[in-house]
Structure 1
Amino acid sequence: MNNKKIGIVVDSTFKLDKDFQEKEAIEVVYLDIIVDNQVFKDGEVSNETIYEAMSHNKKVTTTQPTPARFKDAFDKLLNEGYEHVICLTISASLSGTNNSANLAKSMLDDPNRVTVIDTRTAICGSEYIAESLVKLRSQETELNVILEKLEQKMAQGSVIFTVDDLGILVKSGRLSKLSGMIGNLLKIKPILRFDQGKLEVEHKVRSSDNVIKYLVQEVGKLQEKAKTIVKIAYTTTSDLGLQLEKEIKAKFEDVKVSFSGKISAVVAVHVGSAGLGIYLTNE
């Protein structure tokens, strides 16, 4: 199979670089954000605007794409001559987006021409998986080899992130009420790990400096095993991320660090403000 015969579809939470997306002809299926009954496409409103609305007690929710949106993306690529389409989605444990993609696949005349993959990750982790797929598409010719190697990539990495207020994660059902209550009462900064679709509180610290210290330690542990890749993302401000990037580069010469920038507004709704996250993996 010629690598140019494999089309790629992702959802908007991947927040891929626009130039990269267009260069690689990647189709993006958007999720929606609803602010007091007004519907916005993911990316049409900033994270800051969302948090401002939430601070004024406006109802802010998100919705997964309809199967029709995914089917339109699949049809577009198949009609353009791609022999097969690989669709990557945010972790199924976080969103029903993967289910919508699978429903769209079942609506096709030939569902076997589409492979829907639950990346089991989110934010900069999803971005890394999409970039990995693009590289594999250019390096390999067999679909089964591409899928096998992509699975290996997905099994290696995890997202580690911190937030100031656990309330939003508890409210969305993504974190237990007990963990959220303890964290907020003690005024600690919880550090959470999202690994293979499972979210857990991994560590607790009391300052931003200690957040940085812990994340650098985790990079060091992985760096001892193999060449390490770190992707950094944040919700609203980049200060803490830039500090982390600086410290990682100062301590480890062979760690590849890159800045993904702000996370998708849809994900930001469920994470809360003042969030910082990294995707940590071995190459």
Structure 2
Amino acid sequence: MNIKILADSASDLSKNHYNEFDIEMVPLTVHLDEKEFEDGVEIDPKTVYDAMREGKVPKTSQVSAQTFQTIFTSYAEANQPLVYLAFSSELSGTYQAAKMMEQQVKDEYPDAPIHVIDTKCASLGYGLIVLHIAKLAKAGASIEEILKEATYRAKHMEHIFTVDDLEYLYRGGRVSKTAAFVGSLLKIKPILHVDDGKLIPLEKIRGSKKLFNRMLQIMEERGTDFKNQTIGISHCDDIERAEQLAGMIKEKFGVQDIIIEMVGSVIGAHAGPGTIALFFSNKPNKSSEKA
């Protein structure tokens, strides 16, 4: 019996990916116009970005504990192995809800083959890990192999991204009102990354022309062996700039395998239209890992 992989909508994978690799998806929730929508199921990201451009402020909420209880119980009853790769615990309470329900279900089904992993990753960085592990599961990998590989991939995933308007980060409490105002006046573009699951400002670039060149420099400084890995680019309704960045990466590093996806409604609600994110492994091969 192959191992089932569960992910949540913050992985920003397309329905094609879920279907092709038999990945089960559980959605987070978007609150807009006093209504609730399941991310990736009942609302599309474009709707959220258009609303934000009109000045609306969508809110988001985690997957409920009851949802995980239902899913985990069904797999426990069937004795079907399940690995849930979770959105970063530093950015959502979804992982904590899943861990709580994992323990509760295992109190009733002590031998339930259910495993919950905090990837400490987000968006397509998280999605690339899910895809890799789902391919292993589909190929018949053991639970030990899957857990070890998932932990390794998560540890070495890099997130480098920029937002188009600091106002959205201000609304989410990531920067001060003054910083957002001054940054907008000076056309400052921040570069941020994810460190141990947390969103951390890296540096500021004045003017958008220098932005992608600097992102590629950071990629070169932090990463390796780009030709033999899949690179991820996600965008908040700006496919043209995402494709521009992809072209620059192909030209500079000779990369062939690049996945481009739109940032989903939940993460996009905090990052805002125009966000561009780049994901790659800083150690794609275990042979380069020191003992």
* Short-chain TM bin: 0.7 to 0.9
> Aligned partner of 1:68: which letter?
Q
Q: 1:49 to 1:105 in 2, by over 3 A?
A: same
Q: 1:65 aligns with which of 56, 63, 66?
A: 63
Counterpart for residue 203 of structure 1: 203
> Aligned partner of 1:95: which letter?
S
TM-score (norm 1): 0.87
Report the CA distance between 1:131 and its aligned residue: 1.3
CA distance in 2, matches of 1:56, 1:272: 12
Report the CA distance between 1:105 and its aligned residue: 1.4
Which deviates more, 103-112 or 9-18?
A: 103-112
Counterpart for residue 274 of structure 2: 274
> Aligned partner of 1:146: which letter?
I
For this pair of structures, how many residues does the alignment match? 278
Report the CA distance between 1:243 and its aligned residue: 0.8
- Residue 144 of structure 2: SS of its match in structure 1? helix
> Aligned partner of 1:51: which letter?
Y
Any conservation in 1 of the 2:45–2:268 contact (CA below 8 Å)? Answer: yes
- Residue 216 in 1 paired to residue 216 in 2? yes
Any conservation in 1 of the 2:232–2:280 contact (CA below 8 Å)? Answer: yes
Counterpart for residue 48 of structure 1: 46
Report the CA distance between 1:174 and its aligned residue: 3.6
Query: After the TM superposition, which residues 1-283 of structure 1 pair with which residues of structure 2 at under 5 Å, given as runs?
Result: 4=2, 6-43=3-40, 44-82=42-80, 84-108=81-105, 109-110=108-109, 113-138=113-138, 141-175=141-175, 180=180, 182-222=182-222, 227-253=228-254, 255-281=255-281, 282-283=283-284
1:23-58 deviation line (CA, Å, top 9, x unaligned): 433221111111121111112323332233234444
TM-score (norm 2): 0.85
Share of identical aligned residues, percent? 30
> Aligned partner of 1:120: which letter?
K
RMSD (CA atoms): 2.4
Any conservation in 1 of the 2:91–2:198 contact (CA below 8 Å)? Answer: no
Report the CA distance between 1:225 and its aligned residue: 6.1
Any conservation in 2 of the 1:29–1:73 contact (CA below 8 Å)? Answer: no
Q: 1:178 to 1:26 in 2, by over 3 A?
A: same
1:130-159 deviation line (CA, Å, top 9, x unaligned): 012123335674423321222111111111
